[in-house]
Amino acid sequence: MRNIGYVETLQAAKKHAHYAAPLGPHQGRGVASGFWFNVGGESSAAVHINEDGTAVVVSGNPDIGGSRASMAIMAAEVLGLPVDRVRPIVPTPARSGTVF
């Protein structure tokens, strides 16, 4: 991975005044961090146009970091619709015993 500024970010946080502020009884201080690979791969979506001119975009990908918004924006651009006329849906998997 190329340099992403992780070490520099932790160093800047450690130098901040809040990090050195006094702690009261039963208080502690910690730092948590992580990352998520954002890898593009094959995907698909279904777009349905409703009678009132709105659209629905359905995709099975999980909504991590705004994928619903991204789907709505892309569909709106391609269809020439205002984004507020596009409803993105990410269906949840059916659980056993679920009746449709």
- pTM for the full predicted model: 0.53
Q: What is the mean pLDDT of the chain?
A: 84
Provide the pLDDT for residue 84: 96
* Fold topology of 41-92: Aldehyde Oxidoreductase; domain 4 (3.30.365)
Phi (first) and psi of residue 76, to 5 degrees: -60, -40
Provide the pLDDT for residue 25: 95
Task: Report the C-alpha gap between 87 and 52 in whole angstroms.
Answer: 13
Res. 59: pLDDT tops 70: yes
The DSSP letter of residue 66 is S
Query: What is the pLDDT confidence band of residue 97, given thresholds at 50, 70 and 90?
Result: low
Query: What is the pLDDT confidence band of residue 93, given thresholds at 50, 70 and 90?
Result: low
